[in-house]
Structure 1
């Protein structure tokens, strides 16, 4: 009985740790895509594919299909916002934790 409780607690903590790690990875990918999209001659709409490429095919591949990104060119500012479902420890638990939403900003490069 105690073992089941401890195992459940361990898996819950591991899930929260996985959620935090995925959030850090998505934040890194989005900020990199915003800086890349802010370069002169790069279309802002290409930032979504840059985020997908940065996330790769590893652990995040199970929920990368739920990735939704919005890229906006606001004059001198490029804003990239992405939302994705958090992966679970096993496939049936995908989406059990809250969605992850992050935003990256960069200044538009001008000649």
Structure 2
């Protein structure tokens, strides 16, 4: 089954207000990224096939794109997104523009190794 179809099934089974954070690096992840919504997040790995495909025409991706290049950046970006989404939901904020997301500072958190 195509990963894009899996995303479609997930979207159909969740509350419309829930967000998807999708991480990918291969060509097979591109189809999935095309099926994400505006409130979702795509985290492509820089300089890998999915990143190259997205860069060819980023306007095809509705989700907010947050690239990463190594494990440390992946962790930092993913935690930032989780904190942002939690903050927005906890405070009933309708985030209708990217200004709030890009200017939000995540809370410090320690992650066990």
Please classify the TM superposition score into its range, dividing by the shorter chain length: under 0.3
If the length of structure 1 is used for normalisation, what is the TM-score?
0.26
Which structure has the greater CA radius of gyration? 1
Structure with greater strand percent: 1
